[in-house]
Structure formats: C-alpha cells, structure tokens
C-alpha cells in the first residue's frame, strides 16, 4: 500500500515538475523570441530607411522594398501587441468582432503570452528571417542607386507635407513619367486607381513636387471631370506637359477619344497624362500598367498613428499612453484624416487622462454607429452618408450628425454658418451650435492652406431634422 502511494506521489511530483518546466521554457521562449524580433527589426529598419533615400529604378527592387517594409511594420505591430496589451479591456476586441472593416485584429486581444501570441510571433519571426536571408543582394544593388536630395521639411514626420510610406509607389510613378516616348501616337497615360481617401492625390502631389519631375516637364496642368471638355479652348505652348486629371465618374469612349486627341495635338509628344480616380474601369484608358493604391494595413496604420501621436517623445517612457494609442489605432478603422486629427490633439497634450478620454469617446461613437447602421463610421463616410457623432457632444439629448469631408482652399468664400475645430469637439471643450454648423477637420499650415471641412447638424430629441445636404462630395475622390 505504501509502495503504491509512493508511486502515485512520485508520479504527481514528476507531472508537476514537468508542467512547471514547460511553463518556464514557454516563458523563456517568448522572451528569446522577443529579443530576436527586436534584433531583426533593427536590421530591416536600417535597410528600409536607407532605401527611402535612394532613387530605385529597378521594379523588382521596388517590389522587394515593399515586402521588406510590410514585414517591418508587422514586426513592430507584433512587438507592441505583446508589450502593451491589456487582458482586462475587452471593449476594443468586441468592437473589432462587430465590425467587418477591422478583420486584421483576429488575435491581438488574446491574453498576453497565450498560444495565439506565440504562434503569431513565430510567423512574424519566420517572415522577417526569410526577408533578411535575401537582403544581401538588395543592399549591394542599393549602394549603386543614386541618393535623392530632400528638402528639410521632407525629412520630418510631423509637418503637413509629410507622406508616410508609399515610397515604392512614388518611385514607380516617377520612373514611368520619366520614360522616353515610345512609338505610340499620343502621350503616355498612367491611371492611378484607389479607394476612398487612401492618399491618391497626396501621392501625386508629392510626385509632382519631386525635382526630377519638375525639371523634366515644362508645365503641370491640373484638370477635373467638369472642365476636361473645355480643353480645346485652352491655349497650350507646344511643350512637354504633365496633365493630371481627377475623374469622379466613368467616361464615354467618344469623349475620351476627343480629349486624348486634343491633348495629343496641343502638347509635345513627350507629354504625359495621369488619371486619378476611384473607378477601376478607367484603367482601360491607360497605356501603361495601372498603379493601384490600397488602404494602409493595420500594422502600417498603427505605426503611423503612434509616430504622429507621440511626436518627439519616446513611447517606451509612457506605456499606458502607448496602450491607449494601440487601441485607438484599431478603433479609428484606418481613416488617414481622423488619424491626423486625433494624433494632432494627443501630441499637443501628453496627458494619460486626455488620451484615455478620447479613446472612450471614439469607442462609444463607433459602437453607436455599429448598432444603428451595422457599419464602422469610416465605411459609412466612404459611402458619402452621414454618421452619428452624438457621443462627442456634451449632452446625449442633442443628436449630432456629420457629413463626409470636403476640400476647401483658404481663399474659399466665407460661409455664414458657425464653425468649430474638430479636435476641440473630440476633446470635449467645444460648445455645440444649434442647427447646422461647420467642423474644420484638418487645416494645412503650408500654402495654399487647403483644409478639410465637414458639415454637421445638431438637433434635440429629433425635433430639428438634419437639414445638411447628403449630396456626394466629389472633391474627395
């Protein structure tokens, strides 16, 4: 009997020891993997940053650079996910599961150190190691690429002129525009197609501001779908011209032929045409391969948002605020405009209570729209429909509806409607006007001082109906 009990006790001790050793090894393994991840990210970041300063003309190198950058952002995302994740806060996770627009957050809200974390970390490490294993040839070829001279404001993340990422796409477009004309009868046509507010015009603006493009073309002409038909009345010098056209609707074949013939006759054969649009069918008019722009991945978006929000301070010194920033990057749903607005507000005041208050307001706003309309506010705005922002007001009895943003210039005619800054509304320090008013969402401090403005309306208990027009804002294609 004693022998049997001794055997049972010995077996239990062995099992307990094995269990504790397994847990210890798992803990050590996670720590080792995190250390390895940091080392790999440092190596990849050095290469990506250097490539950002080079003029890369090889399309295969641009493709590899894009893959390197994607692996890097995913690595940083994984690093922050494990480092700053809170097992107590389930609200963000629930928002993610309710909204189809936040598919990428499948594992990031599990308990820290869970098998899902370990598996995801293993995948990220494998991807980074595979990317680095093929990096030597890329670095050798990179050394032979000419350095790009940048003006001072291009080097900083926190000015209005900053464009995050898109280096591969920008260089691809520049390479196409600098091509010598082939045997075709008219100018080269490059379609740039992408979704709502993914940065198509921003990308083209930076391309047109590049010194190589400005020295190659004698003039740059901007048109839109409303005035392209008057091209035959425009007086051109027969010189090398870049025509940038923004199209909001599909174009009839005969109309395009008429437009293209006019451009061909009135400009130099070295001229080029850029088509900017959300409409994929317009790619049929291109004479070269279409450049497609997608929204930033959740990893890229999170990296950008935190860089903008923390500014010059180190997020490692503020782990609570870093956790809030991680959650906000998920809740915002990938909106670039909102990211800039919210980050600008947070960067002005590094106070945890304010940051957490902004997070709670956005979570409540997203919940409200998901409950009422079944969609994330970003998706609703992209359909040019108003969203409910009542949660940003001081009283839930006053309903607030907000229209999609439109672009205005500083010299636009003054409007009679009252206006306030969106960041003041988000911070809870704005007095809401009655009826219709304007929200200045974002305003550039660089000429020509463009700004995003959104029409809004306040009404009490549904008595004052929303009078704001629901027409589509074509200027934001």
Cβ-based neighbours of 45, under 8 Å, separated by 6 or more: 72
Does residue 62 fall inside a structural domain? yes
Please compute the mean of the pLDDT values over residues 185-205 and round it to a whole number.
Answer: 87
Q: Are residues 343 and 259 in the same domain?
A: no
Q: Indicate whether 160 pLDDT > 90.
A: no
| pLDDT confidence of residue 449 | 61
Identify the top-confidence range among 88-102, 140-154, 199-213, 438-452: 199-213
Q: Say if residue 90 is exposed, middle or buried (CB neighbours under 10 Å; 0-12, 13-18, 19+).
A: exposed
Q: Are residues 237 and 272 in the same domain?
A: yes
What residues pair up with 439 in beta bridges, in sequence order? 420, 454
Q: Are residues 219 and 337 in the same domain?
A: no
Tell me how far the alpha carbon of residue 392 is from its chain's centroid: 23
Question: Which of 266, 293, 320 is the last residue before a domain boundary?
Answer: 293
Nearest-angstrom CA–CA distance, 162 and 157: 6
Q: Are residues 176 and 304 in the same domain?
A: no
| pLDDT confidence of residue 110 | 41
Does residue 283 fall inside a structural domain? yes
Cβ-based neighbours of 265, under 8 Å, separated by 6 or more: none
Does residue 260 fall inside a structural domain? yes
Q: How does residue 427 score in pLDDT terms, banded at 50, 70 and 90?
A: confident
Q: The domain that contains 219 carries what CATH number? A: 3.40.50.300
Q: Are residues 282 and 428 in the same domain?
A: no
Q: Indicate whether 378 pLDDT > 80.
A: yes
Q: Could you give the number of structural domains in the chain?
A: 3
Nearest-angstrom CA–CA distance, 409 and 437: 18
Among 17-26, 161-170, 249-258, 446-455, where is mean pLDDT lowest? 17-26
CB 193 within 8 A of CB 280: yes
Question: What tens digit of pLDDT does each residue of 326-370 get?
Answer: 999 999 988 888 888 899 899 989 899 999 999 999 999 999 999
Greater pLDDT, 432 or 59 = 59
Greater pLDDT, 112 or 411 = 411
Question: Which of 258, 293, 328 is the last residue before a domain boundary?
Answer: 293
| pLDDT confidence of residue 222 | 87
| pLDDT confidence of residue 91 | 56
Greater pLDDT, 148 or 390 = 390
CB 208 within 8 A of CB 242: yes
Q: How does residue 312 score in pLDDT terms, banded at 50, 70 and 90?
A: confident
Does residue 157 fall inside a structural domain? no
| pLDDT confidence of residue 90 | 53
Q: Are residues 34 and 75 in the same domain?
A: yes
Does residue 4 fall inside a structural domain? no
| pLDDT confidence of residue 92 | 56
Please compute the mean of the pLDDT values over residues 399-412 and round it to a whole number.
Answer: 76
| pLDDT confidence of residue 323 | 92
Please compute the mean of the pLDDT values over residues 395-423 and round it to a whole number.
Answer: 74
Q: How does residue 96 score in pLDDT terms, banded at 50, 70 and 90?
A: low
Q: How does residue 42 score in pLDDT terms, banded at 50, 70 and 90?
A: very high
CB 297 within 8 A of CB 104: yes
Greater pLDDT, 95 or 126 = 126
Question: Which of 293, 315, 330 is the last residue before a domain boundary?
Answer: 293
Q: Are residues 353 and 226 in the same domain?
A: no
Nearest-angstrom CA–CA distance, 184 and 187: 8
Among 91-95, 373-377, 407-411, where is mean pLDDT lowest? 91-95
Q: Are residues 83 and 135 in the same domain?
A: yes
Question: What tens digit of pLDDT does each residue of 226-272 get?
Answer: 666 656 555 566 788 999 998 988 888 888 888 888 888 888 878 89
Q: Indicate whether 282 pLDDT > 90.
A: yes
Q: How does residue 474 score in pLDDT terms, banded at 50, 70 and 90?
A: very low
Does residue 16 fall inside a structural domain? no
Range of the domain at 88: 21-100+117-144
Nearest-angstrom CA–CA distance, 110 and 88: 10
Handedness of CA 129, 131, 134, 138 (dihedral sign): negative
CB 305 within 8 A of CB 277: no
Please compute the mean of the pLDDT values over residues 85-109 and round it to a whole number.
Answer: 48
SS (H, E, C) the chain: CHHHHHHHHHHHHHHHHHHHHHHHHHHHHHHHHHHHHHHHHHHHHHHHHHHCCEECCCHHHHHHHHHHHHHHHHHHHHHHHHHHCCCCCCHHHHHHHHCHHHCCCCCCCCCCCCHHHHHHHHHHHHHHHHHHHCHHHHHHHHHCCEECCCCHHHHCCCCCCCCCCCHHHHHHHHHHHCCCCCCCCCCEEEEEEECCCCCHHHHHHHHHCCHHHHHHCCEEEEEECCCHHHHHHCCCCCCCEEEEEECCCCCCHHHHHHHHHHHHHHCCCCCEEEEEECCHHHHHHCCCCCEEECCCCHHHHHHHHHHHHHCCCCHHHCHHHHHHHHHHHHHCCCCHHHHHHHHHHHHHCCCHHHHHHHHHHHHHHHHHHHHHHCCCHHHHHHCCCCEECHHHCCCCCEEEEECCCEEECCCCCCCCCCEEEHHHHHHCCCCCCCEEEEEEEEECCCCCCCEEEEEEEEEECCCCCCCCCCCCCHHHC
| pLDDT confidence of residue 191 | 95
Q: Indicate whether 202 pLDDT > 60.
A: yes
Q: What percentage of the chain reaches a pLDDT higher than 90?
A: 27
Q: Are residues 424 and 311 in the same domain?
A: yes
Task: Give the Å distances, CA to CA, from 238 to 100, 105, 227.
Answer: 51, 54, 20
Please compute the mean of the pLDDT values over residues 191-206 and round it to a whole number.
Answer: 88
| pLDDT confidence of residue 284 | 93
Q: Indicate whether 103 pLDDT > 90.
A: no
Q: Are residues 188 and 228 in the same domain?
A: yes
Q: Are residues 240 and 315 in the same domain?
A: no
Does residue 6 fall inside a structural domain? no
CB 203 within 8 A of CB 170: yes
Please compute the mean of the pLDDT values over residues 184-213 and round it to a whole number.
Answer: 87
Q: How does residue 443 score in pLDDT terms, banded at 50, 70 and 90?
A: confident
Q: Indicate whether 23 pLDDT > 60.
A: no
Backbone angles phi, psi at 408, to 5 degrees: -130, 155
Backbone angles phi, psi at 304, to 5 degrees: -60, -45
Q: Are residues 306 and 411 in the same domain?
A: yes
Nearest-angstrom CA–CA distance, 118 and 204: 41
Does residue 51 fall inside a structural domain? yes
Cβ-based neighbours of 10, under 8 Å, separated by 6 or more: none
């Amino acid at each position: 009997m004693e022998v049997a009990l001794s055997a049972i006790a010995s077996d239990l001790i062995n099992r307990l020891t094995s269990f504790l050793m397994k847990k210890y090894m798992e803990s050590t393994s996670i720590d080792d993997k995190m250390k390895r991840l940091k080392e790999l990210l440092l190596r990849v970041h050095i290469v990506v940053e250097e490539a950002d300063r080079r003029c890369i003309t090889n399309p295969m190198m641009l493709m590899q650079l894009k893959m390197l950058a994607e692996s890097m952002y995913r690595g940083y995302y994984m690093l922050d996910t494990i480092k700053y994740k809170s097992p107590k806060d389930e609200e963000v996770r629930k928002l993610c599961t309710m909204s189809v627009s936040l598919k990428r957050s499948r594992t990031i809200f599990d308990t820290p150190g869970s098998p899902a974390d370990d598996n995801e970390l293993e995948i990220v490490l494998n991807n980074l190691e595979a990317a680095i294993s093929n990096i030597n040839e890329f670095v050798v070829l990179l050394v032979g690429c000419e350095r790009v001279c940048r003006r001072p404001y291009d080097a900083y993340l926190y000015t209005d002129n900053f464009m995050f990422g898109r280096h591969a796409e920008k260089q691809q477009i520049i390479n196409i525009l600098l091509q010598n004309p082939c045997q075709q009868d008219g100018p080269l046509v490059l379609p740039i197609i992408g979704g709502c507010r993914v940065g198509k015009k921003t990308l083209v603006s930076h391309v047109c501001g590049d010194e190589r493009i400005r020295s190659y073309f004698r003039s740059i002409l901007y048109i839109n779908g409303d005035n392209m038909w008057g091209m035959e009345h425009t007086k051109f010098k027969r010189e090398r011209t870049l025509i940038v056209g923004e199209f909001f609707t599909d174009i009839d074949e005969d109309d395009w032929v008429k437009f293209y013939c006019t451009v061909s006759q009135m400009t130099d054969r070295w001229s080029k045409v850029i088509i900017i649009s959300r409409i994929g069918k317009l790619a049929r008019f291109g004479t070269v391969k279409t450049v497609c722009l997608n929204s930033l991945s959740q990893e890229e978006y999170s990296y950008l948002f935190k860089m903008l929000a923390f500014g010059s301070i180190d997020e490692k010194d503020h782990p609570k605020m870093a956790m809030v920033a991680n959650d906000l990057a998920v809740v915002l749903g990938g909106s670039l405009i909102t990211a800039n607005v919210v980050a600008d507000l947070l960067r002005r005041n590094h106070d945890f209570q304010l940051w957490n208050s902004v997070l709670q307001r956005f979570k409540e706003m997203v919940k409200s729209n998901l409950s009422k309309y079944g969609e994330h506010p970003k998706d609703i705005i992209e359909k040019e429909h108003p969203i409910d922002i009542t949660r940003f007001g001081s009283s839930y009895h006053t309903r607030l509806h907000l229209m999609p943003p439109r672009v205005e210039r500083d010299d636009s005619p003054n409007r009679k409607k009252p206006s306030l800054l969106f960041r003041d509304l988000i911070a809870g320090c704005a007095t809401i006007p009655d009826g219709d008013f304007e929200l200045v969402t974002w305003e550039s401090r660089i000429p020509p001082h463009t700004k995003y403005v959104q029409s809004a309306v306040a009404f009490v208990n549904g008595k004052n109906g929303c009078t704001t027009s629901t027409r589509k804002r074509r200027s934001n294609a």
